[in-house]
Amino acid sequence: MTQRITVLGATGSIGDSTLSILETAQASSTEFEVYALSGHRQLDKLLDLCQKFAPKRVAVPTEAVATFAQRLKAANLSVDVVGGESGLIELAEDPQVDTVVAAIVGAAGLPSTLAAAKAGKRILLANKEALVMAGHLMMQAVRDNHATLLPIDSEHNAIFQCLPEPIQQDNTKIHQSEYGVRKLWLTASGGPFLHKTYADMAAANIAEAVKHPNWSMGQKISIDSATMMNKGLELIEAAHLFDLPEAKIEVVIHPQSIIHSLVEYSDGSLLAQLGSPDMKTPIAHALAYPKRIDSGVVPLDLFALADLEFIRPDLNKFACLRLARDAMQSGMVATIGLNAANEVAVKAFIDEQVKLTDIALINEQTLDTMAQQALQAPSHIDEVIAIDQRARSIAKQIVAKRYC
């Protein structure tokens, strides 16, 4: 049967990798059909993708709907155009769709990802922010609506692959002693400043911050990798995905990015997933799960591998990682606050208002201010978004007061 797929965030880095696999797969089989796409800023690229994949529906920002519809018509393409957040939600819950690839960056990806869960879709999750902000609501929606959540973040996909099938089907089984899961090991590359000093980090410009040693990714996640906030977000993501307290998830720096993460079992086994650092592998795994398809990734040559290193992260230099652990312990208000503050701080760094090392300071001050307000944990997405907005305004005030 053909799997009809919606790619939300089709013009980004994950979108590129996903569509490249689908292009190859479509050439040889009818297993996958690209049903809908979304783009935000790069609308020329989105138009090219519409020409290439002929989707039935497309989502663009509200103000771009009319012009984009005209451009499609001029290109002789018959595509239904929807706009804004409600358009993304419409695509995510479209009854024709089997699979939603959630690849929008940041908090903007939450409403459509949650809508896909509520509509019982098979979700290929790249947008980690949805779990960081609303993990409890997301996981509940997945359970209540029999949705399938397949992680494509490489570390989480690796862990998923190393877990026994019953736990893959029902994450709460991870607590059953017969499966013997003792802890999870999340690997981190350490980013471009692993072997540099804090002063080097403080002096870094954008080009230096986004220059990731192993992975090619979007701008925001690349900066998050430089501060190791990305690993902090992934720690929270893993806790929700695999139903474990953060204390059972260890972060280890593995600069070669060959082992993508591990599961430790009670008998002393450590199961790992290895591969070239290319997002096409986890994406192909999730697209075809439980089958396997060709991802186009060059296989690892074990003979060519030199040393594999494992290093304990320095939580003073990479304070964002410590903040994420604390936030996970403290609860949803803190994880929403941390994600929102970080988005504001990363933007301020891109706009050259603050230094790379200020990101952790802005995040921490925002969380301290929010802790004084004793906010209630949200039980609905509107409350999640209200807390997110509050955190953003606190973080913006901190940026304005201290750095402008």
Residues near 26 by beta carbon (within 8 Å), at least 6 away in sequence: 32, 33, 34
In whole angstroms, how close is the CB of 220 to Mg ion at the nearest point?
13
- Cα→Cα distances 121→85, 94, 172, 379, 393, Å: 18, 10, 20, 22, 34
Considering only 90, 93, 94, 129, the residue that binds ligand NAD (CB under 6 A) is 129
| Segment near ligand NAD (CB under 6 A); pick from 8-16, 28-36, 191-199, 365-373 | 8-16
12 binds ligand NAD (CB under 6 A): yes
Residue 339 interacts with ligand NAD (CB under 6 A)?
no
Query: Between residues 94 and 155, which has the closer beta carbon with respect to Mg ion?
Result: 155
Paired tokens of 264:
């430790």
Q: Choose the stretch contacting ligand NAD; rule: CB under 6 A; options: 100-108, 169-177, 286-294, 319-327.
A: 100-108
Question: Do the Cβ atoms of 101 and 124 come closer than 8 Å?
Answer: yes
Least Å from the CB of residue 277 to ligand NAD: 9
Which residue lies nearer to ligand NAD by CB, 375 or 381?
A: 381
38 forms beta bridges with 59
Find out whether 135 and 240 touch, Cβ atoms under 8 Å: yes
103 binds ligand NAD (CB under 6 A): yes
What is the C-alpha separation between 355 and 348, in angstroms, rounded?
9
- How many Å apart are CA 367 and CA 278, to the nearest integer? 34
Q: For residue 32, what are the contacts with CB-CB under 8 A and spacing of at least 6?
A: 2, 3, 5, 22, 25, 26, 287
Span 23-42, contacts to ligand NAD by CB under 6 A = 39-41
Please select the residue that binds ligand NAD; options are 128, 212, 347, 390, rule is CB under 6 A.
128
Distance between first and last Cα of the chain: 57
Q: Which does 315 bind (CB under 5 to 8 A by kind): Mg ion, ligand NAD, none?
A: none
The answer to whether residue 153 forms part of the interface with Mg ion (CB under 5 A) is yes
Q: Applying CB under 6 A, which of residues 99, 113, 127, 157 lies at the interface with ligand NAD?
A: 127
Pick the piece of the chain touching Mg ion (CB under 5 A) from 8-16, 93-101, 150-158, 273-281: 150-158
- Quickly count: other Cβ atoms within 10 Å of residue 43's Cβ: 17
Nearest approach, Cβ of residue 126 and ligand NAD (Å): 3
- Closer residue to Mg ion (CB): 155 or 358: 155
The Cα angle at residue 168 between residues 106 and 179, in degrees rounded to 5: 125
Q: Which of residues 192-221 bind ligand NAD (CB under 6 A)?
A: 215, 217-221
Q: Which residues bind Mg ion (CB under 5 A)?
A: 153-155
